[in-house]
Amino acid sequence: MSAQILDGRPVAEKIRAHLQPQIEEFRRAHGIAPTLALVRVGDAPDAVRYTHAVDRAFTQCGMGFQLDVLPSESTTESIAARLDELARARHVHGILLQHPLPPTVDARIVMTKFPVDKDVEGISPANLGNLGLDTGEYFPTSMPRAAIELLAHYEIPIAGKHAVVVSGSDILGKPLALMLLRADATVTVCDTRTRRLADLTRQADLLIVGVQQPKCITVEMVAPGAVVIDFGVSVREDRLVGDVDFDSVKETAAAISPVPGGTGPVKTMVLMRNTVHAAQRQAEQDHGRIQWLPPRRGKKTR
């Protein structure tokens, strides 16, 4: 029996349709589109390809998009300084800093300096902590949230299930583990170095993978009836390939997300929604400020 295909495009389309009137309303009210600044360090081909995908998706929906390319020899300090400028830039509502950063940069220091109010990818320490303790004061991290959206759209329950996450990363594995715990799953986090990895993945009701190792999850590693979600995106012979060996796994899994067209479009829409929410929140705060501050001379007032 062939698995249900967890097509991400209708999920992304549903989010887009919900956002579109909010984007137009924001533009009308504030004379500016909710705007994302994407900061890329260097010109690695995968990074450039991702930049273009975000640019296309955002501008098609009437969002603002700004690209800052920093030289690949950038330092921890110069990246932090650029983030600080963007934190203060009133026309920028969300900031996405593309990873990985050059090895000469201390990514941990950069992340502690990330402007929390504009962290629309949801990867700063403060955001992770608020997500982990479910305080409500965070942006859902875009990759893990995309997995949750996919499952919800196809009405696949999480509570009580054993979720196995093959990724211990800061942008996928860690925040996803916290989200799945909140959704009352039992959660195992492992990676490709894990001993007897197949013994673990075969126990998964939900198997979620993102390690950028093309087709590393083979059919022997998946239990019949499992639900498989793939965040892998690698280029092989000019085609996008996931971490899961799709053609064989789809014969045993109950459901599987394809690459491309699975998690990718949903992730981008989560990022867009977070950017719209960031813009709305910043506008509200500005509004609060304007109520008690005298109008500034030499500046336009609304």
Report which of 281, 282, 287 is spatially closest to residue 301, judged by C-alpha positions.
287
Choosing from 4, 72, 188, 280, the residue that interacts with a second copy (CB under 8 A) is 188
How far apart are CB 116 and a second copy at their closest, in Å? Answer: 10
Contact yes or no for 190/169 (Cβ under 8 A): no
Cβ closer to a second copy: 180 or 244?
180
> Is residue 189 a contact point for a second copy (CB under 8 A)?
yes
> Is residue 144 a contact point for a second copy (CB under 8 A)?
no
Residue 300, helix vs strand vs coil = coil
Instruction: Name the one range near a second copy by CB under 8 A: 134-142, 226-234, 236-244, 274-282.
Output: 134-142
| Number of chain positions touching a second copy (CB under 8 A) | 37
Helix (H) or strand (E) holding 166: strand 162-166
Choosing from 36, 86, 150, 187, the residue that interacts with a second copy (CB under 8 A) is 187
Choosing from 9, 27, 153, 162, the residue that interacts with a second copy (CB under 8 A) is 162
> Is residue 172 a contact point for a second copy (CB under 8 A)?
no
Q: Binding mask 82-111 vs a second copy (x if CB under 8 A, - otherwise)?
A: --------------------------xx-x
**Residue 117: half-sphere exposure toward Cβ, Cα within 13 Å:** 16
Rounded CA-CA distance 126/111 in Å is: 10
Rounded CA-CA distance 161/43 in Å is: 41
Residue 200, helix vs strand vs coil = helix
**Residue 298: half-sphere exposure toward Cβ, Cα within 13 Å:** 0
Choosing from 80, 177, 227, 272, the residue that interacts with a second copy (CB under 8 A) is 177
Rounded CA-CA distance 215/203 in Å is: 19
Contacts to a second copy by CB under 8 A: 108-109, 111-112, 124-130, 132-137, 160, 162, 168, 170, 173-174, 177-178, 181, 184, 186-191, 193-195, 200
